[in-house]
Amino acid sequence: MTAGAALTRRSLAGFTGRGYDRGRPVAVQIAWFAVSGLVVTRWWCPGRVRVALLRAFGARIGTGTNIRHGVRVHWPWKLTVGDHSWIGEGAHLLNLEPVVIGSDVCVSQDVLLCTGSHDRRSPTFEFDNAPVVVEDGAWVAVRATVLRGVTIGADAVVGAAALVTRDVPAGAVVLAPQPLPHGGV
Within 8 A by CB and 6+ apart from 139, the residues are: 105, 106, 108, 156, 157, 158
pTM of the model: 0.92
Q: Comparing C-alpha atoms, which of 20, 21, 38, 19 is closest to residue 30?
A: 38
CA 63 to chain centre: 21
When pLDDT is cut at 50, 70 and 90, the band that residue 9 belongs to is confident
Give the pLDDT mean for 30-44.
97
DSSP bridge partners of 99: 79, 132
In which band, very low, low, confident or very high, does the pLDDT at 184 lie, cut at 50, 70 and 90? Answer: low
Nearest to 154 by CA among 175, 143, 140, 144: 140
Tell me the sheet residues that pair with 72: 92
Is the distance from CB of 166 to CB of 150 less than 8 angstroms? yes
